[in-house]
Amino acid sequence: MSDAEPSIFTRIINGEIPCYKLYEDEHVFAFLDINPFSLGHTLVVPKEQAATLDTLSDESSAAIGRVLPRISRAILAVTGAVDFNILQNNGEAAFQSVFHVHFHIIPKLEDGSGLAWPFATKQLDPEVGAQLAETISAAIE
């Protein structure tokens, strides 16, 4: 657990700030995003206050992984969506605005609302790819 000031999500989890709560267990809390891409847009948050995913404990990571599909299924069932995105931003340059790990579940609705495409991409250079795969795979602990 971080000794930083409580994040806005910690304050939501603690009941100090209201939210539209969907789910809670020992490690995880989920609620509706207040500025949704589409109706049903949900944030799934570990109770552990880690700023970014690379600093989250194995226990919280596993707990999130266990419930993401289950919460997604409920959102799909209720919104009627079939397609959806999981979005997870880390760091300001990667569009993170709340520095407490969270996974967005964003249903793609019939009215077209949801995450917008296209994302900016660039084809991977084969030499760069081979080199990068080697160095990153060696760095996985």
How far, in Å, CA of 29 to CA of 27, rounded? 7
Stretch that binds ligand AMP, among 27-35, 68-76, 110-118, 125-133 (CB under 6 A): 27-35
How far, in Å, CA of 45 to CA of 104, rounded? 9
Q: Does 119 bind ligand AMP (CB under 6 A)?
A: no
Q: Does 89 bind ligand AMP (CB under 6 A)?
A: yes
φ/ψ of residue 104, rounded to 5: -85, 135
How far, in Å, CA of 24 to CA of 67, rounded? 10
Q: Does 8 bind ligand AMP (CB under 6 A)?
A: yes
CB of 24 to ligand AMP, least distance (A): 15
Q: Which residues bind ligand AMP (CB under 6 A)?
A: 8, 17, 19, 33-35, 43, 89, 95-98
